Amino acid sequence: MAAQPARDAWRDDLHGTLRSLDIRQVVYVPDAGHARLIDRCLADPELSTGALTNEFEGVGMCVGAWLGGQRAVMLMQSSGVGNVVNALGLAQSCGCPFFTVVTMRGEWGEFNPWQIPPGQSAPRVLEAAGVVVHRVTDPALVCDTVAAAGRLAFQSYIPVAVLISQQVTGAKVFK
């Protein structure tokens, strides 16, 4: 099925939303759901953008950015949520914000059974680790939700995650 232009407008608009939050560093684990945003961030000379080996590193990068006077965001997929649990203690014990945007797998139309357990548990795992979770199931609300969640993280010095549902990103289909 071809992408619907209006339905996918958030993919292009999200870069501007991150810039409006004064984010200067973007770290990510490569993910098809974030591919367009990652490309836009890499092309932006005012952003420091870098790939991670795993999600655990992203918490340290975001906390380090904050301690160095900059705002950062980590882009990841729900299958990596389990990798951040231990590292979240760093953000919480330092009183630093941590902001992440997570594309979900293991739900709406998932084809890969391996993705179901991490996708289904991601919201509860994050909440149990003390992260405020905002979930988006409507493409029209992605940018507003990311903006509000980013303000919450950076103004309240807490960890906040935005989960973008597969209803928004579209389910992957492999033939």
What's the pLDDT tens digit per position in 57-102? 999 999 999 999 999 999 999 999 999 999 999 999 999 999 999 9
Residue 26 to residues 77, 108, 162: CA-CA distances in angstroms? 15, 27, 15
Give 109's contacts (C-beta < 8 A, 6+ positions apart): 166, 170, 171, 173
Q: How confident is the model at residue 150 (pLDDT cuts 50, 70, 90)?
A: very high
- Domains with residue ranges and CATH for the chain: 25-168 (3.40.50.970)
Which whole number is the average pLDDT over 145-158? 98
Q: Phi, psi at residue 129, to the nearest 5°?
A: -90, 5
Q: Is the pLDDT confidence value at 1 over 60?
A: no
Rounded to two decimals, what is the model's pTM? 0.94
- Of the candidates 15, 163, 169, the one whose C-alpha atom is nearest the C-alpha of residue 76 is 163
Q: Is the pLDDT confidence value at 111 over 90?
A: no
92 and 128 in contact (C-beta within 8 Å)? no
SS3 content of the chain, % helix, strand, coil (to 5): 55, 20, 30
What's the pLDDT tens digit per position in 125-139? 999 999 999 999 999
Q: Where are the strands (E) in 110-158, listed by range?
A: 132-136
Q: What is the rounded CA–CA span in Å between residue 151 and residue 147? A: 6
pLDDT (0 to 100) of residue 5: 52
75 and 62 in contact (C-beta within 8 Å)? no
